[in-house]
């Protein structure tokens, strides 16, 4: 049992990877492990705080699992932890973070801590962080020309601008540490 009550669900069809992540995290968090999409859905409930979810699994894709999790009750934060390089399809996905394998122990812990911090923010701020994370994920993978000519990406930029304007008062309430963590997250993506 972890040092705090945070419950992390680790989902990867490669048992060695799932077990390694679980072992790394077990010192600091309560951990459940699932070796595929169906098992993930069987293991998921409202008690789960964070889901580390692989995208490419044979029985049920991580994209499908994510969609199902978002339809269920609960406030879980979901990080896609995957070898799949992001493409414009990520704009339609409801994840909170996107981490590309290989992933270090430090990356796992940092991702979880960032998601836990975000979960304390109001829904509007969480939505803003999700949008900005998608922008940063795509900007790390796509050329400026690809981004400029993609209508979905341009729509994302408009959504970010709108959400940012709505949040001016809320963002003013963030502590300096929260703001610095958000900026570090954006710069590291």
How large is the angle between the packed helices 176-188 and 105-119, nearest 10 degrees?
130
Whether 11 and 94 share a structural domain? yes
37 with 98, same domain: the answer is yes
Name the nearest CA neighbour of 25 among 47, 54, 3: 3
Contact 50, 112 (CB under 8 A): yes
Please tell me whether residues 46 and 117 are part of one structural domain: yes
pLDDT value, residue 177:
56
Confidence of residue 118 (pLDDT cuts 50, 70, 90): confident
- Together in a domain, 134 and 106: no
pLDDT of residue 2: 41
Count structural domains, the chain: 2
| The pLDDT of residue 49 | 95
**Full residue range of the structural domain in which residue 130 is found:** 126-188
The residue with greater pLDDT, 137 or 10, is: 10
The per-residue pLDDT for range 159-173, each reduced to its tens digit, is 998 888 877 655 555
pLDDT band at 127 (very low <50, low <70, confident <90, very high): confident
Residue 1 covered by a domain: no
Residues 80 and 171 in one domain: no
What pLDDT is attached to residue 74? Answer: 86
CATH number of the domain within which 79 lies: 3.40.50.2300
The pTM of this model reads 0.67
**pLDDT band with cut points at 50, 70 and 90 for residue 176:** low
Q: Do 33 and 111 share a structural domain? A: yes
Three-state SS annotation for the chain = CCCCCCEEEEECCCHHHHHHHHHHHCCCCEEEEECCHHHHHHHCCCCCCEEEECCCCCCCCHHHHHHHHHHCCCCCEEEEEECCCCCHHHHHCCCCEEEECCCCHHHHHHHHHHHHHHHCCCHHHHHHHHHHHHHHHHHHHCCHHHHHCCHHHHHHHHHHHHHHHHCHHHHHCCCHHHHHHHHHHHHHC
Average pLDDT over residues 18-44: 96
């Amino acid at each position: 049992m972890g040092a705090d009550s945070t419950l992390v669900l680790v989902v990867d069809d490669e048992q060695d990877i799932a077990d390694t992540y679980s072992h790394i995290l077990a010192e600091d968090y309560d951990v459940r492990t699932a070796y595929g999409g169906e098992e993930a859905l069987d293991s998921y409930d409202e008690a789960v705080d964070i889901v580390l979810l692989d995208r490419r699994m044979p029985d049920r894709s991580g994209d499908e699992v994510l969609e199902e999790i978002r339809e269920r009750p609960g406030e879980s934060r979901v990080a896609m932890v995957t070898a799949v390089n992001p493409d414009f399809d990520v704009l339609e996905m409801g994840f909170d973070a996107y981490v590309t394998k290989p992933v270090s122990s430090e990356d796992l812990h940092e991702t979880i801590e960032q998601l836990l911090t975000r979960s304390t923010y109001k829904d509007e701020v969480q939505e803003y962080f999700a949008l900005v994370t998608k922008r940063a994920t795509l900007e790390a993978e796509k050329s400026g020309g690809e981004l400029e000519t993609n209508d979905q990406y341009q729509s994302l930029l408009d959504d970010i601008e709108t959400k940012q304007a709505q949040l001016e008062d809320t963002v003013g309430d963030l502590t300096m540490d929260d703001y610095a963590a958000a900026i570090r997250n954006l710069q590291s993506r």
